[in-house]
Chains A and B, each alone.
Chain A
Amino acid sequence: MSSPLLEVREISKYFGSVNALQSISLSVNAGEVTCVLGDNGAGKSTLIKILSGVFAPDTGQFLVDGAEVKFGSPRDARAAGISTVYQDLAMVPLMSIWRNFFLGSEPTKGWGPFKRFDVAKAKALTSKELRAMGIDVRDPDQAVGTLSGGERQSVAIARAIHFGARLLILDEPTSALGVKQAGVVLRRIVQAREMGLGVIFITHNPHHAYPVGDRFVVLNRGQSLGNFSKKEISREDLVRLMAGGAELEALSHELERPLLDNPIAEAQENA
């Protein structure tokens, strides 16, 4: 079997005396989705920043295509085909979709002082790439700020793919979205996987992670609670693990009020 697209082994990160991450290992293959789950403060953000080249890990190995790498900046990571779609999306709401799509990497034509933004090409490529992802925007001239949350995430994902990403790191892409919009984003994740990309899907929602994930890594307070393939864990176990298992059960006992045995019958009696 070929080596995974990206693999980290036993990486740790310290901020002063704080142990932000301790001995985390995970891997993602091309055409697979690895989900990283964790509550607030579990170390997800630190992990993303290491994977996308913002921080270097203090200990442990970082391998791309089986070869150890050391990224000095996010630019290095991007050059290796690792593209991170952040929550803030790096898009300008007031600008049109096609202007955003190529922002910072605009196609040009012409020469010398007449070198210019190839607007026709930018518009055509934007439409083509969005359509290839099955994203249906009526008008590429539309401002990004007018798109729904799910559409915006979709455009950001399409942009990352267009610019040569082999591995997508998605930082909580569904967290601010309603059920329907989250579904749109989950569909994009599956599409990216089908296109042969590796995806690292960071979320705190096991119900979003389970249907699309091939592997699941659960973090809690900077430590790994386990690294499972889909066969090894059921949705219920994942939810329980995520929620802190026994802790949540105790909490629900405390919070739930005793229910009547049959509220409907009760209501009819009273009527």
Chain B
Amino acid sequence: MSTLSAPPLKDERLSSTGWLTRTLRRPALGSLVGAIVVFVLFAITDSTSKHLWLSSTGVAAWTQQAAFFGIMAVPVGMLMIGGEFDLSTGGMTGFTAIITALLVGQLGWNAWAAIVVTVLFGALIGFINGYVVTRSKLPSFIVTLATYFALRGLSIGGVLLVNHGSTEIGVGTGTHSGMESAKAIFGSSFFKSPSLPSGFQTAILWFIAVTIIAVWVLGRTTFGNWVFAVGGDLDAARNVGVPVTRTKISLFMATSMAASLVGIISFTQSSNAVSEQGVGYEFYYIIAAVVGGCLLTGGYGSVVGAALGACIIGMAFQGVIYSGWDSSWDFTFLGIILFLAVGVNTVIYRRAMKARR
């Protein structure tokens, strides 16, 4: 394409969309402003004697929480852009931790083998979710709600059955092959120092990695283009030859595999898993995605926004503690944040939709 190398003609009217308009059109803007506001707010209300909020201890604390929410919020946000919901995500994070714990603790598997099986299990559940949704044409809200209850029952009943009546599965005191290296990769910490003996959790690195991959996939790959299309207008996407079913199933699989990652991280951190862990968290992921500018109806949103949304939730949980408030206020706080963010995002969305003036 030699013609392409010619310098593009300048359209004098292009200047009408300056950088400010472009910035204001970004779906992640609301969550960025929100994150800054929340950070500053807790810096002010921090009532700890050493002003922990602004210290490395404080940052390590909220980023750890944010990482656990964010690893899920990013794929959940992508799934929402693709026009679907997954309510089984919270239960999946706990259930996959149990699978890894059972394989290592009860069956004495090598930790890495258990991790591979856990990820494959996540892929399978995601495939089932996606397959049933695309085949039955039922709302994913209902289909994944069914998955959620099925998994929740299994995570209590099944564990009680194989674990001699206890809902907690640990690996005991003995050594397990591969456990050391798996812990180093998934469940350890970095940047340890005298002032911060526990360091930062490796989960944070996974969170950053998941976000970078998602940004690349969504913005720079063919698949990413299809994700926007299937969420924006399913029929149009099908008409131009987008493999609609494959795209949606892949999104469900990515979401469930991310849940496996969270399960693996939480198991390797604590060397045990408890039934019903993660139950109820699915709403935090959805809140993070919505705060990040993902439209509930699909077709529009940002994974950077979802990641920032997860940071806001992480900050909220930690900030309420440091401010010396009762932790019950977490929920009220999140409710207000959600409401404000949706308001701001609606303005941004409308602005993006009326680019013509």
Contact = CB atoms under 8 A, between A and B. Distances in A.
A141 B19 CA distance: 13
A117 B225 contact: yes
Tell me the interface secondary structure of chain A in the complex: loop
Contact of A146 (B226, B241, B356): B356
Tell me the interface secondary structure of chain B in the complex: helix
Contacts of A91: 233, 236
A138 B237 contact: no
Contacts of A143: 352-353, 355
B345 to A, nearest CB: 14
Interface stretch (A20-28, A122-130, A200-208, A257-265): A122-130
A106 B219 CA distance: 13
A92 B237 contact: yes
B221 interface: yes
Interface residues on B, range: 35 or more
A178 interface: no
A94 B27 CA distance: 12
A89 B236 contact: yes
Contact of A104 (B224, B237, B354, B356): B237
A105 B240 CA distance: 8
Interface stretch (B4-12, B89-97, B265-273): B4-12
Given A90-B239, A104-B242, A108-B222, A139 B233 contact: no
Residue from A91, A108, A148 with most neighbouring chain B CB atoms (10 Å): A91
Given A121-B1, A124-B4, 13 more contacts: A90-B240, A92-B229, A94-B299, A95-B299, A102-B225, A104-B229, A104-B242, A115-B222, A116-B221, A117-B225, A121-B4, A146-B353, A148-B356
30 contacts: A86-B239, A88-B235, A92-B233, A93-B232, A93-B233, A94-B232, A94-B300, A94-B353, A99-B225, A102-B225, A103-B225, A104-B229, A104-B240, A104-B241, A105-B240, A115-B222, A117-B224, A119-B219, A121-B1, A121-B4, A125-B1, A125-B4, A128-B3, A139-B17, A139-B355, A141-B17, A142-B17, A142-B355, A143-B355, A146-B356
Interface of B: 1, 3-4, 8-9, 11, 13-14, 16-17, 22, 216, 219-222, 224-226, 228-229, 232-233, 235-237, 239-242, 299-300, 352-356
